[in-house]
Structure 1
Amino acid sequence: MTIFWTVVGIAIFFFGLLVSIAWHELGHFATARWFGIKVPEFMVGFGRTIWSVRRGETEYGIKAIPLGGYVRMIGMLPPAKGGQLGRDRRTGPFQGLMDDARRESQAMVMPADVGRQFWTRSPWKRIIVMFAGPFMNLILAIALFFVTFMGVGVLTPNTQISALEECVLPVTAVQNGAPDRCPAGAPQAPALAAGVQPDDRILSVRGQEFGPDDGVALQEAIRASSGPTPIVVERDGRQLPLEVDVIPNTLQDRNSDDPNATVTAGYLGVLLDTSYQPLTAVETTERIGDGVAATAEAITRIPERVPALFGAAFLGEERDPESPMGVVGVSRIGGEILAQEDVPWQQDVGLFLNMLAAVNISLFLLNLLPIPPLDGGQIVPAIWESIKRNTARAIGRPDPGPVDAAKLLPFAYVFVIVFLGFFLMVTVADVVNPVRMFG
């Protein structure tokens, strides 16, 4: 059954990726049609077409290589200066590529469609068309996060005690697994010494009362305490006042992003039970902002992670858990999530939706990079064209005309080569040395 659910999880997550790609392209398609741009093709994937259907003037289809998608709009590049393509292909290493790209851009332009070309639209319309794709990914990510955090909820401690620690150990001594028995000389945990029992529910600490779902606030109150501390617990329907001697201990710093950061705080020695609790809209928005910032930082760190990724793919080195992953890697983790046994459904659904939301955040940010063939590679020329035209109008000079986006094509070819190399390396690493979420 584990293998079955692993395959099902991979298939479901892979389908989610395809939906994310189609949703992205829908943004380009809808805004292009809105502004009267002709769209002959709407495709998910690249390479050979495995299924398609024509509706009106647009062919919709799925291609064999599911590494992205595209919406083909006619006239993406303006003609060369002077308005003509020219009869002869120039022989320069880059000029010839530009000429070929201009010819391909104009190949699908029929005489009746001259006024429906992408480049003929005003810069602000082109910016909207190109930004709409990444923006759709952002919308989808926000929707998934809201469903996850406000619908499914987040695993949060409550005030019910699930177990007691036997002795006082600093967090540094248990980070690699708690010992089977307390070492000689280790003091007894305060809660155990005071007569606290598993299944007790802590009602108050030093007179501060806590509801059943106030586990986080309870933890903070314990950490802020020191010395003899009065508490009230509920046991078998009765309220029992107890006094515990809260002692300082080395604990994990909850306010630091570093999982190894520690702080000295009050220690009671109780393990609280957990349950899934929905977040508020404000808390969800804060988490979304943190997620976008963390993803942006991860993208900027990709170049520095390449050597370690190469080692994991080809040299047998250990794979960094924060290493970049491709379609194979994230889909495999989708299978790993669903293959877990004896876990609440909220955990599976929450992890699935969070991962898919994170992928969409990555698609949003990556596509805004000002590099062709990414969407930002068309947004930046449109912004520059707008600046040039407005400046010329302000100083009384003639309209300078459209910015020649074809001049960015050499960067596009370099980017594609680098991307393909990076993709192959990530794919090899995902197959031979995958990131494992659950060990």
Structure 2
Amino acid sequence: MSMTTILLTILGIAVFAFGLLFSIAWHELGHLSTAKLFGIRVPQYMVGFGPTVWSRRKGDTEYGIKAIPAGGYIRMIGMFPPGADGKLEARSTSPWRGMIEDARSASFEELQPGDEDRLFYTRKPWKRVIVMFAGPFMNLVLAVAIFLGVAMTFGFQTNTTEVAGVQKCVIPQSAERTTCKKSDAVSPAQAAGLKKGDVIVAFDGDRIDSWDTLSDRIRDTTGPADITVRRDGQEKTLHAVLLENAVAKKDSDGQPVPGKFVTAGYLGFAAKSEILPLSFGESVVRMGDMAENGVRSIIALPSKIPALWDAAFGGGERAADSPVGMVGAARIGGEVMALDVPTESQIAMMLNLLAGINLSLFLFNMLPLLPLDGGHIAGALWEALRRHTARIFKRPDPGPFDVAKLMPVAYVVAGVFICFTLLVLVADVVNPVKIT
């Protein structure tokens, strides 16, 4: 590896780290701004964990940066209500009860005179939902803004209806060869006279404006078909006879599924690929697909643990869709800067990486589990449901839902997350996902 490549890689990691820090700060700003809007006192706003590198107090909030850029937090007083007896101190030697009361006490440890009306738990449930949702929502806003900006200005690699090359014979895509045999049939595209540089504008008389539409029409057709092309500025109709062939199976997004094949109509040409900006509507649809894939990835996380363990400790191959942590993402950012591609492509790839990280932060934090934001949202919604039900049936107000009682579960969830994070970290170090 040359010195230039090393320096570019380091630069890429540094740029990604800055983007990550900004994303974390942006997330916590959502919590901070809405908490202050609803009169909740926030003693601390911190980006990072560990020792404090820099801090400054403004008003009743300390703003600072810590040494480990792996997260961030704000401290709000009164996150949990007092116990049933109105006390805050631990009242039991039970370890589970101790966890509950330790968490309760920590939420009140910076309580000052006059703060009685500035406690988090005293706010109405809908206000608490807004405060906790504001952080992930800020990540979603940033992800959408970055993604739409890149999609509509720079664009994405897109197959067009222009012919990049013509296959001379019919070879099943499942076959492990690319050269023709004498026994292979001539490809329909070759027989019809399709040439490199032709732009297919119609299929059997229907105008074609995208590769996806053309690909679907070809796959659905066997037998005679008229192919209208634009060649040298003029349109010309070619007569082809499409054959059946084993071609790559497509998923619901129209992308080929590795190792899966289906029998479908076959013309026999390669589409030219270009980086093309998307319209606003196309960008929104693609963003929706990205979010759907993100949800699927989170649901599939448990099923990927065995392969991740094998990649980390057993020398197994690291799959391209393997979970990646912040270290792995930073390495990818470094590789992007070292790629021999135009600068605008590097910028677009880095921005898309950052958009993906922010979308993941949004989806992950919305899981209804403590200590995640989604867990606090679920607690506030449950409290609202209990109180509303009590009013309907004219029962006594049940009071605030004691989220602190769920802290033992939160510690278990946190432990699982920590173990998973360490597993991903090891895999990212010893067997990282690489750009292909």
CA-CA distance at 1:319 after TM superposition: 1.7
2:200 — aligned with what? 202
Q: Deviations over 1:192-222 (max 9, x none)?
A: 3444332233344444445xx6444343444
Structure 2 matches for 1:70-149, cutoff 5 A? 70-86=73-89, 89-149=91-151
Residue 402 of structure 2 corresponds to which residue in structure 1?
404
Matches of 1:220 and 1:370, distance apart in 2? 40
Q: Which amino acid aligns with 1:244?
A: A
Shift in CA distance, 233/292, structure 1 to aligned 2, threshold 3 Å: closer
* Deviations, residues 265-320 of structure 1 (Å, cap 9, x unaligned): 33232222222233333333333333222222221222222222122111222222
Task: Output the CA distance in 1 between the equivalents of 2:200 and 2:343.
Answer: 25
- Residue matched to 1:33: 36
The aligned amino acid for 1:334 is G
Q: Tell me whether 1:217 sits opposite 2:217 in the alignment.
A: no
1:430 aligns with 2:428: yes
* TM-score between the two structures when normalised by the length of structure 2: 0.90
Q: How far did residue 345 of structure 1 move?
A: 3.3
Task: Look up the match of 1:62.
Answer: 65
Question: Could you tell me how far apart the structure 2 residues matched to 1:255 and 1:417 are?
Answer: 35
Does the alignment pair 1:377 with 2:379?
Answer: no
**Counterpart amino acid of residue 59 in structure 2:** G
2:21 paired residue number:
18
Shift of 1:57: 1.8
Counterpart residue identity of residue 301, structure 1: A
CA–CA separation in structure 2 for the residues paired with 1:246 and 1:28 = 59
- Whether the 8 Å contact between 1:89 and 1:100 is mirrored in structure 2 is no
406-415 or 348-357: which moved more?
Answer: 348-357
Letter of the 2:187 counterpart: A
1:414 alignment counterpart: 412
Residue in structure 2 matched with residue 280 of structure 1 by the alignment = 279
Quote the residue 1:249 is aligned against. Answer: 245
Aligned equivalent of 2:54? 51
TM-score norm. by structure 1 comes to: 0.89
Task: Indicate how the Cα distance of structure 1 residues 376 and 224 shifts in structure 2: closer, same or farther if over 3 A, else same.
Answer: closer
Shift of 1:16: 1.8
Q: Given residue 133 of structure 1, which amino acid in structure 2 is its aligned partner?
A: G
Residue 307 to residue 262, structure 1, CA distance change in 2 (3 Å): closer
| Change in 2 beyond 3 A, CA 1:111/1:165 | same
| Structure 2: unaligned runs, 5 residues or longer | none
Aligned-residue CA RMSD in angstroms? 2.4
Paired position in structure 2 for 1:267: 266
When residues 115 and 223 of structure 1 are mapped into structure 2, their CA distance, relative to the original with a 3 A threshold, is same
Is this contact kept in 2: 1:152–1:349, CA < 8 A? Answer: no
Gaps of 5+ in 1: none
Cα–Cα, structure 1 residues 159 and 295, in superposed 2: closer, same or farther, change >3 Å? closer
Change (3 A) 1:362 1:243: same
CA contact (8 A) 1:45 1:66 kept: yes
Distance of aligned partners of 1:362 and 1:50 in 2 relative to their CA distance in 1, 3 Å threshold: same
Change in CA separation of 1:342 and 1:184 when aligned onto 2, cut-off 3 Å: farther
How many residue pairs match? The answer is: 430
The answer on whether the counterparts of 1:156 and 1:216 sit within 8 Å (CA) in structure 2 is: no
- Cα shift at 1:429: 0.4
Find the residue that maps to 1:3 and give its secondary structure. Answer: helix
1:64: how far off? 1.4
Rounded Cα–Cα distance in structure 2 between residues aligned with 1:221 and 1:383: 49
CA distance in 1, matches of 2:243, 2:389: 69
Q: Distance in 1 between matches of 2:224 and 2:307?
A: 50
**Equivalents in 1 of 2:281, 2:235: separation in Å?**
35
For the structure 1 residues 218 and 369, does the alpha-carbon distance in structure 2 shift closer, same or farther, using more than 3 Å as the test? closer
**SS of structure 1 residue aligned to 2:175:** helix
Report the Cα distance in structure 2 between the residues aligned to 1:13 and 1:325, rounded to whole angstroms.
14
Q: Is 2:366 the counterpart of 1:360?
A: no
Quick one: which amino acid aligns to residue 79 of structure 2?
M
Instruction: Write the distance in 2 (CA, Å) between the matches of 1:238 and 1:103.
Output: 79
How far 1:232 moved relative to its partner? 4.4
Where does residue 5 of structure 2 map in the other structure?
Answer: 2
- The SS at the match of 2:398 is coil
User: Alpha carbons of 1:240 and 1:417: their partners in 2 closer, same or farther (altered >3 Å)?
Assistant: closer
The 3 A distance-change label for structure 1 pair 400 and 225 is closer
